[in-house]
A and B are shown apart, each in its own frame.
Chain A
Amino acid sequence: MASAPPLLRRRTLLGGASLAATSLLASGCSLQIRSRPDPTIGPDTMLVAGDKGTPTFTANFNPFHANKRTAASILYEPLIWINPLDGELVPWLAESWDQPDPQRIVLTLREGVSWHDGTPLTGEDVDYTFRMLQDFPANDVAGAWGRIDTLEVDGRTIAITLKSPDSPALPVIGQTVIVPRHLWEGVADPSTWRNEEPVGSGPFQLGTFTALQYTLDRFPGHWQASSIDIEHLVYPAASEELDLVTKGYDWAYAYMSDVENTWMAANDANRYWFPPGGIIGLHPNHDVAPFDDVDVRRGLALALDGRQVAEVAAEGYMDEASQSGLLLPNQEDLLDPSLPERGIIGQDTQAAIAAFEKAGFTYDGTTMRTPEGEPFTFAITTANGYTDWLRAVQEVQRELGAIGIAVDIDAPQPAAYEANLSSGDYQVAVGSSNGSDAFQGFSNLMSGEYYVPVGETSQNNRIRYRSAEADELITRYRASVDEAEQSEILHALQRLFHTDLPVIALYYGGLWGLYNQARFTGWPTAEDPYAPLQTYGSSPLLVLTRLRRAQKEAS
């Protein structure tokens, strides 16, 4: 989950309406909204729009719950911190690790780590955490026990044997957050427990909590305390887009329409950085003809202008996606150099028509006809309310219309969209795939072990793709702990992704970081991309160690 990319999606209709009203009024009546920071917030306190009330907060700091307060993910710390930009592993509670063979992982726990109540964090806590996840599978969100066979803790050494040769299990197991045994052991059911008074090991501990706002205070006993320059974090429940613009937030994570004229115009020190976090593409259902035919998929890919789709869908903030399956430029060093144009497939209408003709289709200049002679029409499924996806589909509809293919748009509610994709009840869907962990991205999408026929549900490989070559590469990668070999297999997977087109990459979904550099400096940027500006997950743990107060003496 730590490696999961958040993608450009608008959630509520009303949010859109209010924002539309803002920009309309801002431009039409030259009424400029400016931020008015609260003067009582000191220079050592950061205002974070990281947790949205619904509309109020319930005190749930169980880090394994889907409905937890966002800050629960930084009150507790993982063994390994994973960079959501490129999947880089950074030692966190585990100071080092080793994979002696593809079926074993040995982690060494850091010394001198302490819980917020002063109790030292030891191997017993790690042991307890994993046993608890085993006993309460509802808490095992990353599925660690789907991969672990045995786990032995001896002092600071955690020795794990995996069920099968499975070297990519390291990030899945490493992202597990550790909870204190002495406080959790007495809890009857940790999978329903709210943990209202959290005691973690993170650089911040819970300060005050009300239904509309909570604060975190710096934990002086943290193992990295010398790198933490911020005293307090404030998380208000009121973090609608208008609040972000007007209330003087230091850090926010949101996709804001027309960011130049909203966020940037509100304050001179406001900045944004939108690196790619995932690939938005067309996900054909490979169990539905004619999408099982690679020539049809290639025809679709060639008929589409990814740059134009990105421009229309993401207002030009994101680039067209590479058909290598990688996030560029984040994962530039993993890219197979033999791919033409860094894997980007440009629009070539003539070649598209040729590909369709190779698949038996005919094009008479106005209508594309299937081998049976019927006009070629199909439906693209997207989720209702994800406005950027809808704009992307409309652009796809327009571009395919130009070569005589009629596309219908089917936009069920998000829950129904998920159900349709899981059960294979669709022809082509807009979806997000890939992400920071390049291998995981390929294997979730292309591995035959996740294949289920239409009608049965699966969360992985919802496109129902089957390829002996992909399976062989995935198995080989899992059985390898050699970096050179892994890199060579990743190159082969990219080439397969590029030629066999399991999904048709359109554009990158962004990580929508907004920050203000007046009071705090050291933010990650395109020049220094050390972490994304996510306010959720473990990501802020690293960012918070790098930020510095701009005005020291004023405090």
Chain B
Amino acid sequence: MRYFLQRGGWFALTLWAAITLNFLLPRMMPGSPADAAIAKLSQNGPVTEETRRAVEAQLGVPDGSLIQQYVDYLRQILSLDFGVSYAFYPEPVSGLVAQALPYTLVLVGLVTIASFVIGTLLGVLAAWRRGTWMDALPTVGGSFLTTFPYFWTSLLLLFFLGYVAHLFPTFGAFSATTQPGLDWGTVVDAVYHAALPATTMLITSLGGWVLGMRNAMITTLGEDHVTFAEANGIPGRTVALKYAARNAILPNLTGFGMALGGVVGGSILVEQVFGYPGIGFLLFNAVTGQDYPLMQAIFLMITVSVLVANLLVDILYGILDPRTRR
């Protein structure tokens, strides 16, 4: 019990620290939201003092002391009201996030789960058949693909399969002429649009799971209980999955929990390259637009979900492995 209370306490403390940092960090960035808006406007030519005043009036750029702002900020978090976005003025932050979140959750979420499942199974296979081509191919291939940066892979796929071969759409999460709805056509359209970004993320993240699982599994395979099971004539598949893999999966499961927590952050580069309207793209716009309210909401969401995922993994570990409770 003491272990779980301790975990909970740490969770609360980290959460408070994260929330406070989340308040301070955007304010330490040089330039104000009005400066960012002016920088955007001045792409079209010199901006006059009058225009600057109008922009400042539109944005209602933060005033009051830092402490006053902090108190307001805490109150807003409690009521889940994050105010109006600067970069997308006059859209409310909550609406923008609610719009972008489903795309990210479905795309990045499904890809993370698929990548974990496929990668872990390949890792089991590689460890069980170590030394054969079934080991070499996923291990070497996986680490090779993992070394490619996300954006490079996505640019190559986009360019050759999208722009040169015209096999896949090059922009967005659905066709320009369809109004997104809940019918079969929309789903097919959405899957078609998600194919390239999903492939990118899958092939660049697979290697990590394969390697992690393979290495943990090889250690486990050398343990006495596995040798004992084999000596008893238990079928190889049962030994591999029930005796070895089940024990070896713990580190990968931790990683998976963390990865799931990070899903809400989206994938900035992939979403950017494919024009995918998820949280990653939104975050990019928020940062370049000096959009404090939007940045704070997104960072808070990411921090809280990573912390919650962390807490859940901690608790799960406490249950699965009694040694950690001491």
- A: residues with CB less than 8 A from B are 1, 3-7, 9, 11, 14, 17-18, 21-22, 25, 31, 33, 36, 53-56, 58, 60, 65-67, 137-143, 146, 191-194, 210-213, 236-238, 240, 242-243, 246, 277-278, 383, 412-420, 422, 432-435, 441, 444, 450, 458-460, 536-537
Contacts and interface: CB of A to CB of B under 8 A. Distances in A.
29 contacts: A1-B51, A3-B45, A6-B44, A6-B45, A7-B45, A9-B43, A17-B151, A22-B159, A31-B164, A54-B88, A55-B171, A55-B271, A55-B277, A66-B37, A137-B53, A140-B50, A143-B53, A211-B180, A237-B176, A243-B170, A415-B31, A415-B33, A416-B35, A419-B31, A422-B35, A432-B42, A433-B46, A435-B46, A459-B38
Contacts of A22: 159
Given A7-B43, A55-B281, A383-B39, A213 B89 contact: no
| 3 nearest CB pairs, A to B | A143-B50, A4-B45, A415-B31
A4 to B, nearest CB: 3
Nearest to B85: A67
Residue of B45, B48, B151, B175 with most partner-chain A CB within 10 A: B45
B106 interface: no
A416 B281 contact: no
Given A11-B43, A67-B89, A211-B180, A56 B272 contact: no
B47 to A, nearest CB: 6
Given A138-B57, A459-B52, 6 more contacts: A1-B45, A3-B45, A56-B172, A240-B275, A414-B36, A435-B45
B140 interface: no
B118 to A, nearest CB: 28
B172 A413 contact: no
A11 to B, nearest CB: 7
Residue of B33, B42, B51, B159 with most partner-chain A CB within 10 A: B42
A21 B159 contact: yes
Interface string B49-78: 111111101100000000000000000000
Contacts of A6: 43-45
A143 B54 contact: yes
A39 B2 CA distance: 70
B50 A142 contact: yes
B186 interface: no
Nearest to A234: B176
A414 B39 contact: yes
A415 B273 contact: no
A262 B40 CA distance: 26
B155 interface: yes
Contacts, number: 187
A367 B7 CA distance: 64
Nearest to A210: B179
Contacts of B164: 31, 33
B58 A25 contact: no
Contacts of B273: 14, 18
Contacts of B256: none
B41 interface: yes
Given A191-B58, A238-B176, A459-B48, A246 B285 contact: no
Contacts of B58: 65-66, 138, 191
A418 B163 contact: no
Interface residues of B, number: 61
Contacts of A17: 151, 155
A28 to B, nearest CB: 13
B132 interface: no
Contacts of A434: 46
Contact of A415 (B36, B50, B277): B36
B112 interface: no
A192 B156 CA distance: 42
B39 A415 contact: yes
Contacts of A193: 90
A219 B189 CA distance: 33
B31 A277 contact: no
B91 interface: yes
Nearest to B273: A14
B275 A55 contact: yes
Contacts of B45: 1, 3-7, 277-278, 432, 435
Contacts of A60: 90
A100 B310 CA distance: 75
Nearest to A136: B57
A460 B35 CA distance: 14
Contacts of B55: 66, 141
A143 B51 contact: yes
A413 B30 contact: yes
A66 B48 contact: no
Nearest to B32: A419
Contacts of B163: 33, 242, 246
Nearest to A137: B57
Contacts of B37: 66
A265 to B, nearest CB: 14
Given A4-B45, A415-B290, A418-B38, A236 B54 contact: no
B88 A67 contact: yes
A323 B222 CA distance: 80
Residue of A416, A434, A435, A441 with most partner-chain B CB within 10 A: A416
Nearest to B178: A210
Contacts of B40: 66, 414
Contacts of B57: 137-138, 191
A5 B47 CA distance: 10
A406 B46 CA distance: 29
Residue of A4, A5, A213, A432 with most partner-chain B CB within 10 A: A4
Nearest to A8: B43
B170 A58 contact: no
B276 interface: yes
A450 B31 contact: no
B116 interface: no
B159 A25 contact: yes
A58 B176 contact: no
A33 B57 CA distance: 46
Interface in B166-203: 166, 170-172, 174-180
Nearest to B99: A56
Nearest to B58: A138
B277 A56 contact: yes
A18 B49 contact: no
Contacts of B178: 210
A236 B35 CA distance: 28
Nearest to A4: B45
B171 A243 contact: yes
B246 to A, nearest CB: 43
A258 to B, nearest CB: 16
B159 A146 contact: no
Nearest to B172: A212
Given A138-B57, A192-B90, A237-B171, A55 B276 contact: yes
